[in-house]
Amino acid sequence: MRAYSRPGLALTFAGLGFVGTLLLLTVYLNLRARWVALPEWLLSVLDLVLINLPMAVAVIGAGIAASRVGIARATGTRSWRWMDLAYGLGVGLLVRAVVELVAPTFGTLGGPFGQPALATTVVLVLGAVLISPFVEEWFFRGLVLRALVDGLSQGRASRIVGGAGVASVIAIVVSTFAFASLHFVPWGSNVAMSLAIGTFGVGLGCGILTLITGRLGAALVAHASFNAIGVVLLLV
């Protein structure tokens, strides 16, 4: 069963969510510098809400307007298998191992400002390990990837791209590049090697897991475990 009965409309929602997030990243980063009087933990909460909101709204909108099976089934979050935990941990650990071999993680959770206060640390950890991985996987693999597969593997589009297999490869590549680009925006031309390897590795790994299992659970575990290990390395 197709996740999105109207994949073109689903991708329109995805495009709006992507552009909205890009605009917020660009504008908000400038505004944030003027809000230094706010508590650090509150700024961290605003970071989470404002950056993830456009993606979450896009997924909900696409699930309502472009799918006949509902948001949970469309994104692959309705079902869960215990093997998803094993698959996800395996991919998350593998990508993190590659990152640490090439460009080991060092420093603190607060970057050049040192270890943040307890309240800020809690917000940052929850955001990095739970909230952001869920919203990003919901959007990039639950919406973008699955809508692309549906759109490219049916009718005329399928004949043009050459079948479902090629459609899956295109969907993984496109969703991965979109995922990576959002992570690169705040850094401009100063993207660290670890960030580049990590985002592309997570994007490709989570995309493959999503298509192989037909669910989002393994991708969620992979993304969360990758981030969790990075957070632990910054905290110790």
pLDDT band at 223 (very low <50, low <70, confident <90, very high): very high
Q: What is the percent of the chain where pLDDT is above 70?
A: 94
Report pLDDT for 171.
Answer: 95
**What average pLDDT does the segment 17-28 reach?**
90
Is there a domain that residue 22 lies in?
yes
- 1 in a domain, yes or no? no
pTM of the model: 0.93
Do 208 and 172 touch, CB atoms closer than 8 A?
Answer: yes
Name the band, by pLDDT with cuts 50, 70 and 90, for residue 214: very high
pLDDT for res 116: 78
Is residue 202 very low, low, confident or very high in pLDDT (cuts 50, 70, 90)? very high
CA 43 to chain centre: 21
Q: Report CA-CA distances (Å) from 28 to 17, 35, 97.
A: 16, 10, 33
Look up the domain containing 217 and give its range.
7-235
Q: Phi and psi dihedrals of 52, rounded to 5?
A: -90, -20
Q: Is residue 144 part of a domain?
A: yes
Number of separate domains in the chain: 1
* Spacing of C-alpha 27 from chain mean position: 20
Tell me, yes or no, whether 2 lies in a domain. no
Rounded to whole angstroms, how far apart are CA atoms 32 and 89? 35
Residue 86 has pLDDT above 90, yes or no: yes
- What's the CA gap between 176 and 100, in Å, rounded? 20
The average confidence (pLDDT) of the chain is 90
- pLDDT of 95 > 90? The answer is yes
**Any idea which of 4-13, 105-114, 190-199, 223-232 has the lowest mean pLDDT?**
105-114
Predicted confidence at residue 157, as pLDDT, reads: 57
Cα angle: 141, vertex 167, 21; to 5 degrees? 35
Q: Convert the pLDDT of each residue in 146-193 to its tens digit.
A: 999 999 877 665 556 656 778 899 999 999 999 999 999 877 778 888
What is the average per-residue pLDDT within 187-200?
87
25-80 per-position pLDDT tens digit = 888 777 777 777 888 889 889 889 989 999 999 999 999 999 999 999 999 999 99
Distance of alpha carbon 149 from alpha carbon 144, whole angstroms: 9
